[in-house]
Amino acid sequence: MNLGISAGVVTAGLLALLLLGIPIAYVLGLTGIFGLYSATGGSSAWIALTSGATMHLSSSSLLAIPLFMLMSAYITESGMGPKLLDFTDKWFSKMPGALYNAALAACGAFSTLSGSSVATAGAIGGVVIPEFQRRGLNVKRGMGAVAAGGTLGVLIPPSTGFIIYGELTETSVARLFMAGIVPGLAILTVFMIYTMIVSRAEERKAPFISQPDVTWVERWASLRQIWSAIVLMIAVLGGIFFGVVTPTEAAALGALSAMLIGVYVLKGLTWSGVHKAAVRSIYSITMIGTILLGGLILGRAITMLEISQDLVDLIQGAGQPGWMVMIWIMLLLLFLGMFLDGAAMTVITIPLLFPVITSYGYDPVWFAIIFVVNTEIGLLTPPVGMNLFIVKAISGQPMSDVVKGALPYTLLLVMMLIVLMIFPQISLWLPDLLLGPR
């Protein structure tokens, strides 16, 4: 079969299977196998299939994904979320929209321990949403803050999205982790400023249950209950940033440390809880692993069918400037984010888009940040916005209220996406400072 026709059939088959509702891992694998069969004439399809997938799946950098997931499961099971929220609630108590901002800050802190948006939204939301109701606050806004704060889990390291991107593009995971810090903190700051502004106006008009004043003694005392989380953050991220350990070694250290802290320091993690957390992480790892395997098969087919190169030639032949190409790519990613989770979107689009980006001279690290922010937006946009469903399940509120609460934060994310596109140094400054320019 002609390679051009094969590429068209693969693309059409991928879209058709997705529309039929077939699980994404099977969709990726089946279309990839067909593409490999077409590219090799069938004789070498199995060799191409096994060699490409085995090479990537045996990569030591991918081992960091299950280890970070295990760390996240131990942290969640140990009850660290409520302690982080209590700490941030005390320190933000004098601020307009204190509990909203405490929830956002707790989400940001929990993100550095979990690397998962769903785990972050679940751990913090399960504690703070009932508290919004008890204090007579705007629950709709509170749900939006939790859903939006949870998205930071895919941007603030350790992030599984960066690990997958780094493996697919051969980009340094340590550099990607560093690049995510400043944009993540910037987005968190924008969320909090917005929340303070709207809360100040709301508190002037509507009464709410005020809380007792918090003394400085109580604030400093609250720091004692999260010291173990601070040590864990420094051990994992500091080790990576200063070159002491690789991301995979840091993930192993983090998983072991999280278990020991949960069992012996926080005492919220029992040995049965250790088993429960391990089983839960295995389910998550299996899901992501099958998606990644299917994506690697499809990526191999895309390479052998030369679809990426054809796409580069097509776009450059059209004479479109780089900024216009980036706008079209962003619109595509925003659309796909409504229907695909981050892992699926990464393994489907990166093999196609990465050659286009590099052909225009754009920095792969900068594009990783732009890409991940797009997946953040996808977590807040129906019909497949995972964080919306997590918050709905916790709160028991109608999905329409959750979506309305998250809408302002979604728009703020879009605004920050534009800012990060216009000013690449926001993302590149820290990794260039610590590791030197690429």
Reduced to 3 states, what is the DSSP secondary structure of residue 220? helix
Separation of alpha carbons 262 and 275, rounded Å: 13
| Residue 1, pLDDT score | 45
Can you give the pLDDT of all 438 residues of the chain as single tens digits? 444 555 566 667 777 777 777 777 788 878 877 777 777 766 555 665 656 566 666 667 778 888 888 888 888 888 888 888 888 888 887 788 888 899 999 988 888 887 778 888 888 888 888 888 888 788 898 999 999 998 998 898 888 889 989 988 989 999 999 999 999 999 999 999 999 998 887 766 555 545 567 778 888 888 888 888 888 888 888 888 888 888 888 889 989 998 998 888 888 888 888 888 888 888 878 877 888 788 777 777 777 777 767 777 777 777 788 889 999 999 988 888 887 778 888 888 898 889 889 989 999 999 999 999 999 898 898 877 888 888 888 888 888 999 999 999 999 999 999 999 999 999 999 999 988 887
| Residue 52, pLDDT score | 59
CA 182 to chain CA mean position, Å: 15
- List the one residue out of 69, 236, 32 whose CA is nearest residue 164: 69
Reduced to 3 states, what is the DSSP secondary structure of residue 108? helix
Q: Could you tell me if residue 428 is inside a domain?
A: yes
Q: Could you tell me if residue 122 is inside a domain?
A: yes
Please give the residue range of the domain that contains residue 118: 59-269+305-435
Give the CA dihedral 420, 422, 427, 429, nearest 10 degrees: -150
Q: Could you tell me if residue 155 is inside a domain?
A: yes
- List the one residue out of 76, 163, 77 whose CA is nearest residue 121: 76
Q: Could you tell me if residue 217 is inside a domain?
A: yes
- List the one residue out of 25, 27, 26, 31 whose CA is nearest residue 9: 31
Q: Could you tell me if residue 15 is inside a domain?
A: no
Separation of alpha carbons 141 and 36, rounded Å: 49
Number of domains in the chain: 1
Q: Could you tell me if residue 139 is inside a domain?
A: yes
Q: Could you tell me if residue 245 is inside a domain?
A: yes
Please, are residues 173 and 158 in contact by the beta-carbon 8 Å criterion?
Answer: no
| 363 backbone φψ class: left, alpha, beta (φ>0; ψ -120 to 50) | beta
pTM of the model: 0.86
CA 433 to chain CA mean position, Å: 24
Please, are residues 222 and 93 in contact by the beta-carbon 8 Å criterion?
Answer: no
| Residue 8, pLDDT score | 65
| Residue 183, pLDDT score | 96
Q: Please name the residues in contact with 168: beta carbons below 8 A apart, sequence gap of 6 or more.
A: 56, 299, 346, 347, 350, 351, 354
Q: Within 13 Å, how many C-alpha atoms sit on residue 414's CB side?
A: 16
101, amino acid identity: N
How many CB atoms are closer than 10 A to CB 310? 14
Q: Could you tell me if residue 347 is inside a domain?
A: yes
